[in-house]
Structure 1
Amino acid sequence: MQWNEELPDAHNRITPSMFVARSLEEIRFWSRIMKEHSLFLRLGFRCEDTQLINEANQYYYLFEKIEQQSYNLTNQTDPEQMRRFNTEVQIAATNIFAFKRKVLGLILTCQLPGANNFPLLVDHTSREANYFRKRLIELNEGKLKPLADEIIKENVFYLRIMADHAKFIGHLLDPSERKLVDMAREFSNDFDELLFQARDLESMKPQSQTVPLLDQFLDQNRVSVVSLRDFKKTARDLIEECKIKSIIHPLLADHVFREAEHFLEIIDLFEAHLTGKKEFPS
């Protein structure tokens, strides 16, 4: 995500060039994530769940096609063409969101006994699909939230994602990998605490939306995300080299690493926009 143009004006409108660039960045990142979610869900279904497997495969190929199409566009793409593509992708994101919630319902009502998809993992992937579809809707409407609101909102979303990742890693490592399991548990607790703090800051709006508080908020989150990112990179490399015992798919290890990297990019870009600003418009 590269927000390197001017800030939105007082009405939180975005320029046509910003609209196209942001749309492509979101679609390129999240279409790959949706494609991989489809694979992970399919791997967790039972052999007899043929309909669900087929649906997952269809979404895999759909988002693979979307990802490929996005790289055929450039920042010079006509905004109207971009808007139409956003609408097409938003429909796909809405549909995979509904599919994931259907799967979650089947799991929670014990209709998929013996399957290997954690309910929290399915919920996690559905939250990301919902985030993606909402982002495209916001972009097509040509509006952005005020910077202070966006900083808190994005961090609340991503801190929960990072906490989930730590929990998944801890559960998918072999129990005999005691040290790594303990480290994953510590990261889970750390990000749960950061999430609680972020929600407290959110509930104190607008009084909490000062540059010093938000700057400290971002700094604190960055330290923890860097540590988790490095842990994920180490785990990914060890899994790829078959040096640790786990049932973590190598692509899943890389998937969660990329999401941590993405969160760090967002934190850095928010901090860049905070630099030199003394207050936010009401």
Structure 2
Amino acid sequence: MNGDDTSLHADTGVTSGLFVERSLNEIRFWARIMKEHSLFLRLGFRAEDTQLIQEANQFYRLFEQIEQTAHSFNNQTDPEQIRRFNSEVQQAATNIFAFKRKVLGLILTCKLPGANNFPLLVDHTSREANYFRKRLIELNEGKLQALPDAIIKENVFFLRIMADHAKFIGHLLDPSERKLVDVARDFSNDFDQLLYQAKDLESMRPQSQTGPLLDQFLDQNRVSVSSLRDFKKTARDLIEQCKIKSIIHPLLADHVFREADRFLEIIDMFDAHLTGGSKS
């Protein structure tokens, strides 16, 4: 079961067992993501940015420890212990969010000339930290959105993440990889359009929250996310085999693949609850 099961118990609150399972799922996934963000940011700093490099290394170690702790717990762990753990992790996510926004400010005010972190990439990683932070707060407060709200909100968030990924891939591939750059650009355009559609649906709430519209919304997004995930998997494999020219770190290639895979899990979970599992 995916930890992003956002709204099954919107009326009754989160049961203890589900609370523990969902919390651990979220932390195991996102702590690894935060740890890897720390590495990617560090790799993009200049050699003289010693303070920023030190801070990034500290966050790497912090989230590595959080990830290990999360794996030491299981679904039978005392919910109160998990609640306290969620609060600790939420503070760590808040702190790395603040660090990322600080770095973004330095880049946008031209105080890190020659560094290799795109402003959009730093903003992107900060949005994910904020998502993680808010998810832990929601879990601890037992506040869950109704299914239609959750479907639209999650898709708006993840469609933008996928659009960003396509842009990063296109810019980090060597310019001589013309065919792959074109494919990445096409994915970027596709997900920009899907994001605009999702925002339109969002602005039409609550009238837009009908079963047929949401069902079509999920189906359409699933097709594009599946294609992008397969492209990311191919790119990851080619990078690992040194078959294409790029400055994409192999771990970054796997990182974006895992996020697409998680989005697909979320879409499938929402679809199953929307349709009562009636689809084949």
Band the TM-score falls in, shorter-chain normalisation: over 0.9
Does the 8 Å contact 1:164/1:188 carry over to 2? yes
User: What TM-score comes out, normalization by structure 2 length?
Assistant: 0.97
Q: Distance in 2 between matches of 1:276 and 1:173?
A: 42
2:138 is matched with which residue? Answer: 138
Counterpart of 1:160, as a letter, is R
Counterpart of 1:102, as a letter, is K
C-alpha deviations, 1:53-75, integer Å up to 9, x for none?
Answer: 00000000000000000001011
Q: Distance in 1 between matches of 2:83 and 2:7?
A: 21
Q: Distance in 1 between matches of 2:209 and 2:22?
A: 25
Change (3 A) 1:34 1:6: closer
| 1:67-82 matched pairs, under 5 angstroms | 67-82=67-82
| 1:83-94 matched pairs, under 5 angstroms | 83-94=83-94
TM-superposed deviation, 1:14? 1.2
Q: Distance in 1 between matches of 2:140 and 2:208?
A: 29
Q: Distance in 1 between matches of 2:267 and 2:242?
A: 33
Unaligned runs of 5+ in 1: 278-282
2:266 is matched with which residue? Answer: 266
Counterpart of 1:38, as a letter, is S
Unaligned runs of 5+ in 2: none
1:164 is matched with which residue? Answer: 164
Change (3 A) 1:15 1:247: same
1:275 is matched with which residue? Answer: 275
Q: Distance in 2 between matches of 1:22 and 1:5?
A: 9
Q: Distance in 2 between matches of 1:4 and 1:102?
A: 32
TM-superposed deviation, 1:4? 7.7
SS at match of 2:72: coil
Does the 8 Å contact 1:2/1:269 carry over to 2? no
The runs of at least 4 aligned residues of structure 1 exceeding 3 Å deviation read 2-6
SS at match of 1:96: helix
1:56 is matched with which residue? Answer: 56
TM-superposed deviation, 1:3? 6.7
Change (3 A) 1:212 1:5: closer
Does the 8 Å contact 1:169/1:184 carry over to 2? yes
Counterpart of 1:133, as a letter, is R
RMSD (Å) for aligned C-alpha atoms? 1.6
Change (3 A) 1:75 1:116: same
| 1:59-208 matched pairs, under 5 angstroms | 59-208=59-208
Q: Distance in 1 between matches of 2:76 and 2:242?
A: 44
TM-superposed deviation, 1:143? 1.3
Does the 8 Å contact 2:10/2:143 carry over to 1? no
Q: Distance in 2 between matches of 1:21 and 1:10?
A: 19
Change (3 A) 1:10 1:268: same
Does the 8 Å contact 1:32/1:67 carry over to 2? yes
1:40 is matched with which residue? Answer: 40
Does the 8 Å contact 2:6/2:145 carry over to 1? no
TM-superposed deviation, 1:9? 5.1
Does the 8 Å contact 2:6/2:150 carry over to 1? no
TM-superposed deviation, 1:268? 0.3
Q: Distance in 2 between matches of 1:107 and 1:122?
A: 9
User: What TM-score comes out, normalization by structure 1 length?
Assistant: 0.96
Counterpart of 2:8, as a letter, is L
Q: Percent identity?
A: 81
Q: Distance in 2 between matches of 1:5 and 1:112?
A: 39
1:227 is matched with which residue? Answer: 227
1:7 is matched with which residue? Answer: 8
Counterpart of 1:10, as a letter, is D
Change (3 A) 1:9 1:190: closer
2:218 is matched with which residue? Answer: 218
SS at match of 1:71: helix
Q: Distance in 2 between matches of 1:167 and 1:6?
A: 31
TM-superposed deviation, 1:168? 0.1
Does the 8 Å contact 2:6/2:147 carry over to 1? no
The aligned length equals: 277
Does the 8 Å contact 1:211/1:274 carry over to 2? yes
Change (3 A) 1:76 1:160: same
Change (3 A) 1:197 1:6: closer
Does the 8 Å contact 1:8/1:14 carry over to 2? yes
